[in-house]
Structure 1
Amino acid sequence: MATTSYLDLNRCSRPLPPSLSSLSACPCRPSAVTLPRSRAKLGGLDFSIDGTRPVVGLGPTRGLCRPRRRLIAAVARADPDHLGDGNAKQVLGVHKGRELSLNEDAVAENQEKANQLKKRIVFGLGIGLSIGIVVLAGGWVFTTVVAAAVFVGAREYFELVRSRGITAGMTPPPRYVSRVCSVICALMPLLTLYRGQIDVSVTSAAFLVAMALHLQRGNPRFAQLSSTMFGLFYCGYLPCFWVKLRCGLAAPALNTGIGASWPILLGGQAQWTVGLVATLISFSSIIAADTYAFMGGKAFGRTPLTSVSPKKTWEGTIAGLCGCIATTVVLSKIFCWPKSLLSSIAFGILNFFGSVFGDLTESMIKRDAGVKDSGSLIPGHGGILDRVDSYIFTGALAYSFVKTFLPLYGV
């Protein structure tokens, strides 16, 4: 379609008379402008310009003069390159400003994600190195760190129980009961190291908590009792199995080549026990499962695993399982424990399922609480429960497997 220059026709407010012999019928119309012959349609107007004689054709029901905004819009559609109106330029500027704003928001969001990922990597490496040193030290050092993590995790758990999302459907336990339970949970790993078992202590603690709930003012509720007992089990009893695994299985790992060259000042060959090797392999396989599941989900994730955690996919879960088994088998060859390949594969599968269901359990609690993270203690990672949720059930499964199903502890 040919283009035409803009004619300021909007000043005329009266329609043309029926006889259109010329444009002089409208007294406010400007004189004709000499332009090359061209033809264009603007809305309902048909312009034909030939030299100095402009001719305007009208549709059957439309008048010549239009309101200013409609004429500007029609001219903009017909000839955007020659449009010199200030309002149109302002509109274009607004559109460009919105595009720039969207681009700036996208850049800022990507930069924030990059900073978050960098922070997660830095703090993750620092935590991993520190935990490795603590596991190698064992004894009171390992048990004290576990007790501190249990105390913080128990506080986070009871804060989740008291959040709006959960309290909308239940009555939370009193705050003093929550604090006492957090202290009891922190003492459980220490009692496990001192006594070697925790069953009597857990039973006594549960009885005391039930008494405190029944003697409180007002009417005690079953939701208070159930959430408190689950807190004792989830935050206190289950983590104690890591102490039993690391410090309780003191049988020497005789076939481990690293132990033969281990410095005497750091404990010598006696430092490398079945408990130490099993704990290192379990921790490493859990980290591998999380890493491979994340990478596999990002690259191939299409099918959601469960509604509890929408970001988890079947593809990522399968990648995590393969990575967990591969890491367990490789480390079993390095440490020469367990000796059987079938036992190594079974140990890797057990660690993987313990980590997955521990993660899903904590996700279920957070979903009901209506929060994204259990806390903000670790920058880029959230709270303690967000980092140790994969380890809570795994310690009990690993200890039971080594203690019960591996003949001679797998040596």
Structure 2
Amino acid sequence: MSAPIVQGWCPGAHRPMMSGDGLVVRVRPRLARLDTQQALGLCKLADRFGNGTIDLTNRANLQLRGVSEADHQSLLTELAALNLLDAEPGIEVRRNILVSPLYRTGDLTARLARELTDRLNELPALPAKFGFAIDTGPQRLLAKASADIRLETGAEGLILRADGAETGRLVSDVDAIDQLIALARWFAENHTTETRRMARVITAFDLPDTWQGSAPGHSGAPLQPGPCTLGSLYGAAFGQLPARHLGELLENSGASALRVTPWRLILLEDGERIPAPEFVTDGTDPLMTTDACPGAPLCPQAHVATRDIARALAPRVAGSLHVSGCSKGCARMGSADVTLVGHNGRFDLVKQGRAGDEPSKRGLTPETLMTMDLT
């Protein structure tokens, strides 16, 4: 089997991506939030047009899989009726904005996210995966999430930080988006086809001192399934949200809205904590530290099926587990304690590394893996 193809872009709603089971159609919730009617409507669309499951991505987006090309336009019409579709494809491509999920209506995070959304047309041309994080709560929560330019809580106040830089620039809420656009322009002037993310650009070019000097603040504890100040958090194994069960959970909990996160967690605003056997409700569940892509046959680039073996091995791995259908490692960009990479129908084993790293063992079958000591 040939090497996996790096697409260099993520699917959208206007521009879906063909996969092994049909089109992947991505919905980018504004401010990481859908009101209850939008969320219930999306659940119905997943059943009507997709495979009945909604994927929660590590960029806090939602995806419908298994959509036929013949149904794509009808799906877009329905998404527009729910106000879940950008008017133009160009806006959708630029709106890669992560927000800290615990924001409150009208606070600094919400205001900055809305201003950035309103001013997307002022950004220069940027690579398709280039993204922004607005992480301005009492403690930073998005430090390990994928983003290229970060507005975040600093030790001395609000800072703007280039991803990969240890420090950022002190800004005010008045000029924060002006400065963000200026930093995006600096990136656009310096990036190449080989350096399409900010962290790589600043290793190739010295980041001007004007964008450095102010340290970021402390990071908060990772969110876990359970009650929180805004409602209830539930986990989704491998980021999979069964549409019918999600709809039932929204209705039975009395939630007023659904918020999405980049950590396979959903937040039900004002939702009562109720039993939900189809979701992860215990923060110690090993599935919360296990990543697995859709695998074969859903992804045409995958060499192996992934999620059954991931679910079986999760309780046997003390730390984090990543099962990848190919060497791209789409489900987890960072390293894991144990990474299994599909290759020609079997698995290669990487310890303390990423999917593209040199394996310590090759050609392992699922049966062999189930008998191995993976600690």
The normalised TM-score by structure 1 is: 0.24
* Bigger CA radius of gyration: 1
* Greater per-residue strand proportion: 2
* Greater per-residue helix proportion: 1
The normalised TM-score by structure 2 is: 0.26
